[in-house]
Amino acid sequence: MNTVTMLLCTATLLMTSTAIKASEASAFHIARTQTIKIKHKEFDRDYALYIKLPEDYHKKTDSHYPVIYTTDAEWHMDLLSGVTTYIMPNVIIVGISWQQNMSETVDYGDVRAFASRFRDYSFIESDKPKVQKKYQFGKGAEHLTFIRNHIMPLVAKTFRVDPTNQTYLGYSMGAEFGAYILLAQPETFDNYILGSPSVDEKSIAYLDALEKQHTQQHASHHSNVFLSIGALEHNAMDATKQLASIIRRKGPSPRTLTGLEIINDADHTTAVPDTFTSSIKWLSTLSSN
Protein backbone atom coordinates (compact mmCIF):
# COMPACT_ATOMS: atom_id res chain seq x y z
CA MET A 1 0.00 0.00 0.00
CA ASN A 2 1.56 3.30 -1.07
CA THR A 3 1.68 6.45 1.06
CA VAL A 4 -1.18 8.20 -0.72
CA THR A 5 -3.49 5.21 -0.26
CA MET A 6 -2.58 4.98 3.41
CA LEU A 7 -3.34 8.67 3.93
CA LEU A 8 -6.69 8.33 2.19
CA CYS A 9 -7.61 5.32 4.30
CA THR A 10 -6.59 7.11 7.48
CA ALA A 11 -8.62 10.19 6.54
CA THR A 12 -11.66 8.03 5.78
CA LEU A 13 -11.40 6.30 9.14
CA LEU A 14 -11.06 9.63 10.94
CA MET A 15 -14.09 11.09 9.15
CA THR A 16 -16.14 7.96 9.90
CA SER A 17 -15.13 8.09 13.54
CA THR A 18 -15.99 11.79 13.73
CA ALA A 19 -19.37 11.20 12.11
CA ILE A 20 -20.18 8.43 14.59
CA LYS A 21 -19.19 10.61 17.52
CA ALA A 22 -21.22 13.52 16.15
CA SER A 23 -24.31 11.34 15.81
CA GLU A 24 -23.88 10.15 19.39
CA ALA A 25 -23.34 13.66 20.76
CA SER A 26 -25.95 15.12 23.09
CA ALA A 27 -27.32 18.65 23.00
CA PHE A 28 -25.44 21.39 24.85
CA HIS A 29 -27.08 22.70 28.01
CA ILE A 30 -26.35 25.85 29.99
CA ALA A 31 -24.92 24.90 33.37
CA ARG A 32 -27.27 25.00 36.38
CA THR A 33 -30.29 25.55 34.14
CA GLN A 34 -33.56 23.67 34.41
CA THR A 35 -36.82 23.74 32.47
CA ILE A 36 -40.25 24.03 34.06
CA LYS A 37 -43.36 23.55 31.94
CA ILE A 38 -46.27 25.87 32.63
CA LYS A 39 -49.71 26.25 31.02
CA HIS A 40 -51.83 29.37 30.64
CA LYS A 41 -54.96 27.35 31.33
CA GLU A 42 -57.46 30.05 30.40
CA PHE A 43 -56.28 29.92 26.78
CA ASP A 44 -54.68 26.43 26.68
CA ARG A 45 -51.24 27.87 25.90
CA ASP A 46 -48.13 25.88 26.80
CA TYR A 47 -44.91 27.67 27.77
CA ALA A 48 -41.59 26.76 29.34
CA LEU A 49 -39.55 28.58 31.96
CA TYR A 50 -35.78 28.26 31.67
CA ILE A 51 -34.33 28.81 35.14
CA LYS A 52 -30.62 29.39 35.72
CA LEU A 53 -29.42 29.40 39.33
CA PRO A 54 -26.25 30.98 40.76
CA GLU A 55 -23.29 28.68 41.32
CA ASP A 56 -23.53 28.93 45.11
CA TYR A 57 -27.34 28.63 45.25
CA HIS A 58 -27.35 25.18 46.90
CA LYS A 59 -24.52 26.09 49.29
CA LYS A 60 -25.89 29.34 50.69
CA THR A 61 -29.29 28.01 51.68
CA ASP A 62 -30.19 31.11 53.68
CA SER A 63 -29.54 33.51 50.80
CA HIS A 64 -32.18 35.09 48.59
CA TYR A 65 -31.16 36.23 45.13
CA PRO A 66 -32.14 38.99 42.72
CA VAL A 67 -33.99 37.69 39.69
CA ILE A 68 -34.05 38.73 36.03
CA TYR A 69 -37.09 37.77 33.96
CA THR A 70 -36.62 37.86 30.20
CA THR A 71 -38.99 37.27 27.32
CA ASP A 72 -37.82 35.79 23.98
CA ALA A 73 -35.95 33.27 26.13
CA GLU A 74 -34.95 31.11 23.18
CA TRP A 75 -32.93 34.05 21.83
CA HIS A 76 -31.71 35.56 25.10
CA MET A 77 -30.74 32.83 27.54
CA ASP A 78 -27.28 32.02 26.20
CA LEU A 79 -26.13 35.65 25.94
CA LEU A 80 -27.71 36.70 29.24
CA SER A 81 -26.17 33.69 30.96
CA GLY A 82 -22.71 34.57 29.68
CA VAL A 83 -22.92 38.25 30.60
CA THR A 84 -24.24 37.64 34.12
CA THR A 85 -21.63 34.96 34.78
CA TYR A 86 -18.91 37.62 34.66
CA ILE A 87 -20.74 40.76 35.77
CA MET A 88 -23.54 39.65 38.09
CA PRO A 89 -23.05 35.97 38.98
CA ASN A 90 -25.35 35.92 42.01
CA VAL A 91 -28.60 36.32 40.10
CA ILE A 92 -31.40 33.96 39.14
CA ILE A 93 -32.42 34.12 35.47
CA VAL A 94 -35.96 33.21 34.41
CA GLY A 95 -36.43 32.91 30.67
CA ILE A 96 -40.04 32.83 29.47
CA SER A 97 -40.45 30.89 26.24
CA TRP A 98 -42.76 31.48 23.32
CA GLN A 99 -45.97 29.47 23.22
CA GLN A 100 -45.05 25.90 22.38
CA ASN A 101 -48.39 24.55 21.16
CA MET A 102 -49.42 26.98 18.44
CA SER A 103 -52.35 25.86 16.31
CA GLU A 104 -51.40 23.45 13.53
CA THR A 105 -54.31 24.69 11.42
CA VAL A 106 -52.66 28.08 10.87
CA ASP A 107 -49.77 28.42 8.42
CA TYR A 108 -47.23 30.55 10.27
CA GLY A 109 -44.44 29.63 7.85
CA ASP A 110 -40.90 30.45 8.97
CA VAL A 111 -42.09 32.38 12.05
CA ARG A 112 -44.05 29.48 13.59
CA ALA A 113 -41.58 29.01 16.46
CA PHE A 114 -41.96 32.60 17.64
CA ALA A 115 -45.37 33.55 16.22
CA SER A 116 -46.83 33.95 19.71
CA ARG A 117 -44.58 36.94 20.47
CA PHE A 118 -46.61 39.08 18.04
CA ARG A 119 -49.68 38.44 20.19
CA ASP A 120 -48.11 38.31 23.66
CA TYR A 121 -45.75 41.30 23.46
CA SER A 122 -48.06 43.78 21.70
CA PHE A 123 -50.82 46.01 23.03
CA ILE A 124 -52.33 47.41 19.82
CA GLU A 125 -54.27 45.40 17.24
CA SER A 126 -53.15 45.39 13.61
CA ASP A 127 -55.21 47.54 11.25
CA LYS A 128 -54.92 44.78 8.63
CA PRO A 129 -57.79 42.28 9.17
CA LYS A 130 -55.98 39.25 7.71
CA VAL A 131 -52.84 39.92 9.75
CA GLN A 132 -54.88 40.50 12.91
CA LYS A 133 -56.84 37.28 12.44
CA LYS A 134 -53.66 35.28 11.97
CA TYR A 135 -51.43 36.71 14.69
CA GLN A 136 -53.91 38.20 17.19
CA PHE A 137 -51.88 41.34 17.92
CA GLY A 138 -52.68 43.35 21.04
CA LYS A 139 -52.98 40.65 23.72
CA GLY A 140 -50.15 41.93 25.91
CA ALA A 141 -52.53 42.44 28.85
CA GLU A 142 -53.36 38.73 28.82
CA HIS A 143 -49.69 37.79 28.85
CA LEU A 144 -48.92 40.25 31.64
CA THR A 145 -51.71 38.74 33.75
CA PHE A 146 -50.22 35.29 33.13
CA ILE A 147 -46.78 36.49 34.23
CA ARG A 148 -48.08 38.26 37.34
CA ASN A 149 -50.60 35.65 38.49
CA HIS A 150 -48.92 32.40 37.50
CA ILE A 151 -45.27 32.65 36.48
CA MET A 152 -43.96 34.95 39.21
CA PRO A 153 -45.81 33.19 42.07
CA LEU A 154 -44.49 29.82 40.83
CA VAL A 155 -40.92 31.13 40.73
CA ALA A 156 -41.27 32.73 44.18
CA LYS A 157 -42.64 29.49 45.62
CA THR A 158 -39.96 27.28 44.05
CA PHE A 159 -36.80 29.38 44.37
CA ARG A 160 -35.28 31.76 46.91
CA VAL A 161 -35.79 35.04 45.09
CA ASP A 162 -35.42 38.50 46.60
CA PRO A 163 -38.91 40.04 46.21
CA THR A 164 -37.42 43.54 46.44
CA ASN A 165 -35.00 43.08 43.52
CA GLN A 166 -36.86 41.78 40.47
CA THR A 167 -35.92 42.90 36.98
CA TYR A 168 -37.53 42.65 33.56
CA LEU A 169 -35.31 42.51 30.47
CA GLY A 170 -36.81 42.81 27.01
CA TYR A 171 -35.44 43.57 23.57
CA SER A 172 -37.27 44.82 20.47
CA MET A 173 -40.91 43.70 20.85
CA GLY A 174 -39.97 42.41 24.29
CA ALA A 175 -38.86 45.93 25.22
CA GLU A 176 -42.08 47.40 23.84
CA PHE A 177 -43.92 44.95 26.09
CA GLY A 178 -41.67 46.01 28.97
CA ALA A 179 -42.61 49.65 28.43
CA TYR A 180 -46.26 48.60 28.60
CA ILE A 181 -45.66 46.78 31.91
CA LEU A 182 -43.76 49.79 33.29
CA LEU A 183 -46.63 52.16 32.59
CA ALA A 184 -49.60 49.85 33.19
CA GLN A 185 -48.45 47.78 36.19
CA PRO A 186 -45.08 49.24 37.30
CA GLU A 187 -45.05 47.36 40.60
CA THR A 188 -44.64 44.09 38.68
CA PHE A 189 -40.86 44.65 38.63
CA ASP A 190 -38.41 46.91 40.44
CA ASN A 191 -36.09 47.43 37.47
CA TYR A 192 -36.75 47.54 33.73
CA ILE A 193 -34.21 46.97 30.95
CA LEU A 194 -35.67 48.06 27.61
CA GLY A 195 -33.37 47.46 24.66
CA SER A 196 -34.25 48.97 21.27
CA PRO A 197 -38.02 48.91 21.84
CA SER A 198 -40.02 48.46 18.63
CA VAL A 199 -42.14 51.56 19.18
CA ASP A 200 -43.67 53.81 16.55
CA GLU A 201 -45.96 56.84 16.46
CA LYS A 202 -49.06 54.77 17.19
CA SER A 203 -47.61 52.86 20.13
CA ILE A 204 -46.06 56.01 21.59
CA ALA A 205 -49.47 57.70 21.57
CA TYR A 206 -50.92 54.68 23.38
CA LEU A 207 -48.14 54.62 25.99
CA ASP A 208 -48.41 58.37 26.53
CA ALA A 209 -52.12 58.07 27.30
CA LEU A 210 -51.48 55.00 29.46
CA GLU A 211 -48.91 56.85 31.57
CA LYS A 212 -51.30 59.73 32.24
CA GLN A 213 -54.11 57.33 33.07
CA HIS A 214 -52.23 55.06 35.49
CA THR A 215 -49.81 57.40 37.25
CA GLN A 216 -52.13 58.12 40.17
CA GLN A 217 -52.83 54.42 40.75
CA HIS A 218 -49.19 53.46 41.34
CA ALA A 219 -47.83 56.47 43.18
CA SER A 220 -46.00 54.47 45.86
CA HIS A 221 -43.86 52.31 43.57
CA HIS A 222 -40.43 53.42 42.37
CA SER A 223 -39.04 51.95 39.13
CA ASN A 224 -35.47 52.05 37.80
CA VAL A 225 -35.27 52.06 34.01
CA PHE A 226 -32.48 51.35 31.52
CA LEU A 227 -33.38 52.36 27.94
CA SER A 228 -31.12 51.90 24.92
CA ILE A 229 -31.06 52.01 21.12
CA GLY A 230 -28.49 51.48 18.39
CA ALA A 231 -27.06 54.67 16.88
CA LEU A 232 -27.93 53.38 13.40
CA GLU A 233 -31.60 52.75 14.21
CA HIS A 234 -32.55 56.00 12.52
CA ASN A 235 -36.21 55.12 11.87
CA ALA A 236 -36.84 54.33 15.54
CA MET A 237 -34.75 57.08 17.15
CA ASP A 238 -37.46 59.76 17.41
CA ALA A 239 -40.04 57.37 18.86
CA THR A 240 -37.54 56.02 21.38
CA LYS A 241 -36.65 59.54 22.48
CA GLN A 242 -40.36 60.23 22.93
CA LEU A 243 -40.60 57.11 25.08
CA ALA A 244 -37.70 58.39 27.18
CA SER A 245 -39.60 61.65 27.70
CA ILE A 246 -42.70 59.77 28.83
CA ILE A 247 -40.67 57.73 31.30
CA ARG A 248 -38.94 60.86 32.64
CA ARG A 249 -42.24 62.66 33.14
CA LYS A 250 -42.49 63.79 36.74
CA GLY A 251 -45.54 62.80 38.68
CA PRO A 252 -46.67 60.87 41.74
CA SER A 253 -45.39 57.59 40.24
CA PRO A 254 -41.57 57.89 40.57
CA ARG A 255 -39.31 56.49 37.85
CA THR A 256 -35.56 56.85 37.53
CA LEU A 257 -34.30 56.67 33.95
CA THR A 258 -30.56 56.32 33.41
CA GLY A 259 -30.87 58.34 30.23
CA LEU A 260 -31.12 57.04 26.69
CA GLU A 261 -28.10 54.81 26.11
CA ILE A 262 -26.94 55.09 22.48
CA ILE A 263 -25.02 52.02 21.28
CA ASN A 264 -22.38 53.38 18.87
CA ASP A 265 -22.08 52.00 15.33
CA ALA A 266 -24.93 49.53 15.97
CA ASP A 267 -28.24 48.79 14.30
CA HIS A 268 -31.22 46.88 15.70
CA THR A 269 -29.39 43.56 15.43
CA THR A 270 -25.81 44.42 16.30
CA ALA A 271 -26.81 46.50 19.34
CA VAL A 272 -27.84 43.36 21.23
CA PRO A 273 -24.49 42.34 22.83
CA ASP A 274 -23.58 45.84 24.03
CA THR A 275 -27.12 46.39 25.28
CA PHE A 276 -26.98 43.28 27.44
CA THR A 277 -23.50 44.07 28.74
CA SER A 278 -24.19 47.73 29.54
CA SER A 279 -27.55 47.02 31.16
CA ILE A 280 -26.25 44.22 33.38
CA LYS A 281 -23.37 46.47 34.49
CA TRP A 282 -25.99 49.08 35.40
CA LEU A 283 -28.12 46.50 37.21
CA SER A 284 -25.14 45.09 39.11
CA THR A 285 -24.19 48.55 40.37
CA LEU A 286 -27.80 49.26 41.27
CA SER A 287 -28.12 46.00 43.19
CA SER A 288 -24.91 46.54 45.15
CA ASN A 289 -25.97 49.98 46.43
Bridge partner residues of 226 (DSSP): 193
Tens digits of residue pLDDT in 208-218: 999 988 766 66
Q: What is the mean pLDDT of residues 260-269?
A: 96
R_g of the chain computed on alpha carbons:
22
Per-residue pLDDT band at 14 (split at 50, 70, 90) = very low
* Weakest mean pLDDT among 52-56, 188-192, 234-238, 249-253: 249-253
Q: What per-residue confidence (pLDDT) applies to 17?
A: 45
Q: Is the pLDDT of residue 4 over 90?
A: no
Tens digits of residue pLDDT in 67-91: 999 999 999 999 999 999 999 999 9
- pTM, full prediction: 0.89
* Weakest mean pLDDT among 18-27, 103-112, 247-256, 277-286: 18-27
| CB contact set of 274 (below 8 Å; sequence gap of 6+) | 263, 266
Task: For residue 71, give Cα distances in angstroms to 32, 49, 60.
Answer: 19, 10, 28
Average of per-residue pLDDT values in the chain:
90
What class is the 32-99+159-288 domain? Answer: alpha beta
Q: What per-residue confidence (pLDDT) applies to 250?
A: 75
* Weakest mean pLDDT among 42-46, 134-138, 209-213: 209-213
Among left, alpha and beta (phi > 0; psi -120 to 50; other), residue 196 is left
Q: Is the pLDDT of residue 252 over 70?
A: no
What is the four-CA torsion angle of 74, 85, 283, 114, rounded to 10 degrees? 0
| Residue 48: burial class (beta carbons within 10 Å; 0-12, 13-18, 19+) | middle
Q: What per-residue confidence (pLDDT) applies to 288?
A: 85
Q: Is the pLDDT of residue 41 over 80?
A: yes
Q: What is the mean pLDDT of residues 8-29?
A: 51
* 18: helix, strand or coil: helix
- Proportion of the chain above pLDDT 90, given as a percent: 80
Tens digits of residue pLDDT in 102-126: 999 999 999 999 999 999 999 999 9
Per-residue pLDDT band at 289 (split at 50, 70, 90) = confident
Q: What is the mean pLDDT of residues 123-130?
A: 96
Tens digits of residue pLDDT in 157-207: 999 999 999 999 999 999 999 999 999 999 999 999 999 999 999 999 999
Per-residue pLDDT band at 30 (split at 50, 70, 90) = confident
Q: What per-residue confidence (pLDDT) applies to 47?
A: 97
